[in-house]
Amino acid sequence: MHQDPSDSPVHSPAPAHSTTTVERGSFCLARCVCGWSGPARRARDRARADAREHLGEREQDG
């Protein structure tokens, strides 16, 4: 059976940057569809923080 994956005639406004976390062994790093990739982190939270920084969401600390 041939199933069409998904016909989407509408142009969804996909964001220029879409980050995700990738696990590499015991490390975790953030990656973006734009090609950017953060440094390997021991904790996924850190990788997510890198992703947030890349997206421009800077934490306001002081």
Q: Which is nearer to Zn ion, 35 or 62 (CB)?
A: 35
**CB within 8 Å of 28: residues ≥ 6 apart:** 21, 22, 40, 41, 42, 43, 44, 46, 47
By CB under 5 A, name the one of 15, 17, 42, 45 that touches Zn ion.
Answer: 17
Is 36 a binder of Zn ion (CB under 5 A)? yes
Contact region for Zn ion (CB under 5 A) — 1-9, 10-18, 20-28, 41-49? 10-18
The string of DSSP letters for 3-21 reads: -------S-----S--EEE
Q: Which residues bind Zn ion (CB under 5 A)?
A: 17, 32, 34, 36
